[in-house]
Chain A
Amino acid sequence: DTGVSQDPRHKITKRGQNVTFRCDPISEHNRLYWYRQTLGQGPEFLTYFQNEAQLEKSRLLSDRFSAERPKGSFSTLEIQRTEQGDSAMYLCASSRTGTSSQTQYFGPGTRLLVL
């Protein structure tokens, strides 16, 4: 399978704990995105990488959130001191520069539940 993969698929944590999610994009894709989706809503943009550079961060991404893509391949999203409002599906997507670069391919998501 050469699609976008995410790990873990599900995470249950207690309020105040730190969590880290991983995304592996499609291998030839140099752009990587993180989105958050809550129940009954469409995905909302969080942040974007082109290669290893983080080029944009949403205002939704508070100081407790940090994302990295150290070698321009996989990415991690860390949430520190989780809050119940962080419960959501965290989606990763990738695309490549060039024609049809707006076509983003999504992973299966990591569903986070903060108790």
Chain B
Amino acid sequence: QKEVEQDPGPLSVPEGAIVSLNCTYSNSAFQYFMWYRQYSRKGPELLMYTYSSGNKEDGRFTAQVDKSSKYISLFIRDSQPSDSATYLCAMDFLGGYNKLIFGAGTRLAVHP
């Protein structure tokens, strides 16, 4: 079993929809949680960074962390075709060397 599980999708939604992306993890020692967006054949781009539990909002994006359930989410409001990409969750330990552990990524397609 992988440390970080992520549904690969693809997830197809109409423009304007609210998108929910999720990851589950097995190691309770993870303290830092990140979401990256990766366009085809490009490097990952950091979207959101959260420490421990709670919510964080940035524009149309909201990240949630529920450590008791070992579950993190990324919500995208008013989705746009330009949001079409692969979304990767990543995690790290407190006091670690920042060796990020990634999920496999969820492919999202937002159609006009």
Q: Check A102/B103 contact, CB under 8 A, given A31-B98, A91-B43.
A: no
Nearest-Cβ distance from residue A45 to partner chain B, whole angstroms: 5
A100 CB within 8 Å of chain B: yes
Q: Check A102/B92 contact, CB under 8 A, given A43-B100, A55-B97.
A: yes
Contact A40 B104 (CB under 8 A): yes
Nearest-Cβ distance from residue B79 to partner chain A, whole angstroms: 22
CA separation between A101 and B32, bound complex, in Å?
Answer: 10
Contact A102 B32 (CB under 8 A): yes
Nearest-Cβ distance from residue A67 to partner chain B, whole angstroms: 14
Number of interface residues of B (CB under 8 A): 25
Q: Mark A89-100, 1 if CB is under 8 A from B, else 0.
A: 001000100001
CA separation between A50 and B99, bound complex, in Å?
Answer: 12
A33 CB within 8 Å of chain B: yes
On chain A, the residues within 8 Å of B98 by CB distance are: 31, 33, 48, 95, 101-102, 104
Q: Mark A30-41, 1 if CB is under 8 A from B, else 0.
A: 010101000011
Q: A31-B98, A40-B105, A102-B98 are in contact. List 6 more A-B contacts (CB 8 A).
A: A40-B104, A43-B88, A101-B98, A103-B46, A104-B100, A106-B46
